[in-house]
Every structure is written in C-alpha cells, then in structure tokens.
Amino acid sequence: MTHYLRRVLRGIVCAARSPAIILLPLFFIQACTSKLTPVAEHGHLSVSGNRIVNQHKQPVSLAGPSLFWGNKGWLGDRFFHAESVAYARKEWNAGIIRVAMGVENNGGIIHDWQGRMAKVKTVVDAAIAQGMYVIIDWHSHHAEDNPEAAQRFFVELAQTYGEHPHVIYEIYNEPLEDTDWSTVIKPYAQTLITAIRAVDPDNIIVVGTQSWSQDVDKAADDPLTGFSNIAYALHFYAGTHRQELRDKAEYALNKGLALMVTEWGAVNADGDGAVDRKETLRWLEFMRKHQLSHCNWSFNNKKEGASVFNPHTDPTGPWKDKDLTESGLFAKDIIKNW
C-alpha cells in the first residue's frame, strides 16, 4: 500500500464532517460526532514539539488501562482477549489500551514466541475493532540483552499493523537505575527505531528512560535525533513518586521532549499498598496541564493494590463495579471522565 493510500485511510472520519452537509442541523452533527471512535476522531497521531497531536495537529491526551505482564503462567494473560478491550472502551470510555508482553522472565516471549505473539495480536486486533489506540509494550527491564528478539518482535508487528494509525510501539518498558541512558538505552533505541522505521515510517515510538522510566531529564539532555514521532516514557506510582519526579518531567518537557505516561499507579511503586488519592490528584492535574496520555496499571486480578479487579474475579467477564478494587474504581472514574 502506498504512503498516500495509508494517509487516505487514516483520514476517513464520520460523514457529518463533510462540507457537503455542513448546513445540517447542529444536533445531527453532534450526534454523529459523539459516536466517533477515538481513532476516527483523532486519526494518525504524531509528535509536534513536546506534544502528541492528532490528525488536525491539535494536542491530544488519551486515557486507558494497561494489561499486566503477558508471560505464560503468570495469569495476567487471561485478560488478553477482545472482551477486555470492549469493556475498557464501552464501560470506561478508554481511548487507549496497553498490552504488556514480558520478555526474559519465566514464561516471557523469548521462551514461548508463537503463544505470546498470538496473545499480543489478539489484543491489538480487538483494539483496532474498537477504534482504540493500542500501545505494544516490550515489557522488559533488560531489553539491551536481547536486541535481536526485540527487532524480530517489532518488525513482525509493524509489518502486520503498521498501516493502522491505532498502533504505538513501546520498545523498552523500564530500564533499571544503573542502565545508562547515553551508552546503553539510547544506542538500543536507535537500533530498534531504525528497524521499525524501515517498515512503518510514522507511527509513534515510545522510548523507555533510565531508572524505571523516570529519568526523563537525562534523555532530555541527550535526546534521540534524526527520527520523527518519538516520545519518551514517564512512569509514576503516586504512593512513592511525587514532586521531584514531576520536576524532572517538567524539565524534560521544557527541553522539548514529548512524554507519554505509559504506566502509572495510584499505589506504591511495588504495585501494592493503599490508594494515595491526594498525590494521584496532583499527578492528574500535572497530566492535564501538559496534555499527557496515560495508561493505568493494571488490568488484572492479582492480589495487590494496583490491580483493577478483586482476587478471584472471573477473567472472562462480564464485570460489574462490585468486581473492582478501590484502585480499579478510582482508575475507572479517572479514565471514564478524562
């Protein structure tokens, strides 16, 4: 498919936007517009300065959940199905969902390639069907140890889905604190971005940053160059990360980096503990101010504070509010009203 045709497909929106019917009553246009899916409304996303913008070059901020590690045997993959995506879209008003595929750990994709890849594609297909954006996340803390596997993963997915404006690639979830940005993470990112761009020239690529995707200031001082539509991952857990991390993020934004909060929690950084509503609200104010898109961790029923669902909740659904944890109800309210 030519680049021109890709753009044509990405530009298809509701007929009520057509100049031919511009004189139709406003209520008709509003009724049609209200039914647009997120992708129909915003189209192909791109990076402009320190903002992610839509097809109309307007800043866009999307909200949705993140699935749990997709490792075989870790049980989070029981939620990797179309019903989860439909529920997030219809009940939470989510515009985006993140599929987190574990890599090196037991049951990760390098140990079960076909099975794990099928799980990822199930979620991506469902997101496309719902008209949602989907972050495909290489959920690793040591991605530089397996660059060939990462390239294989993203090239295959870019070949399959690169023509769709729905897809966002997150090439490194959370580099560790001692994984240096300039000498390790940045060269890895350059290799991965080059491989993806050979297949998909323009969908957004999100690059993880040092210290569990917190040291965005280090990336701002030595940013990637020579590529378009690159954003940087910022992760926070409100019970642990506070104003100091927001200051780092503000610094990076002021230096021109586009950020995406591909993972956040209302609890502690270990994924457990009580919901910190007060600090989460500060983070929400910060994300609104800077028009940041974000995904809440995690769409799972593991017995921990960050889980959306109570333990023993049927992963096949359907789900009611009684099935949600305190964190899940809080996240649902935030995303639904974003």
* Dihedrals phi, psi of 108, to nearest 5 degrees: -70, 175
CA atoms 8, 10, 11, 13: torsion sign: positive
Contacts 24+ apart (CB under 8 A), 160-165: 160/121, 161/124, 161/128, 162/199, 162/200, 162/203, 163/1, 163/6, 163/9, 164/128, 165/10, 165/39, 165/43, 165/44, 165/45, 165/203
Query: Which are the contacts of 97, defined by CB distance < 8 A and separation ≥ 6?
Result: 64, 65, 66, 67, 85, 88, 123, 127, 132, 133, 134, 135, 295, 299
Phi first, then psi, for residue 289 (nearest 5°) are: -55, -40
3-class DSSP state of 65? strand
Active site residue 174: yes
Pick the catalytic residue from 41, 148, 163, 174.
174
Reply yes or no on whether 263 is catalytic. Answer: yes
In DSSP terms, 165 is beta-bridged to none
- Nearest-angstrom CA–CA distance, 130 and 147: 32
SS3 103: coil
Q: Which residues are registered as beta bridge partners of 169?
A: 136, 205
| Side chain identity at residue 37, one-letter code | T
How many C-beta neighbours within 10 Å does residue 152 have?
16
Which among 83, 156, 244, 263 is annotated as catalytic?
263
Active site amino acids: 174, 263
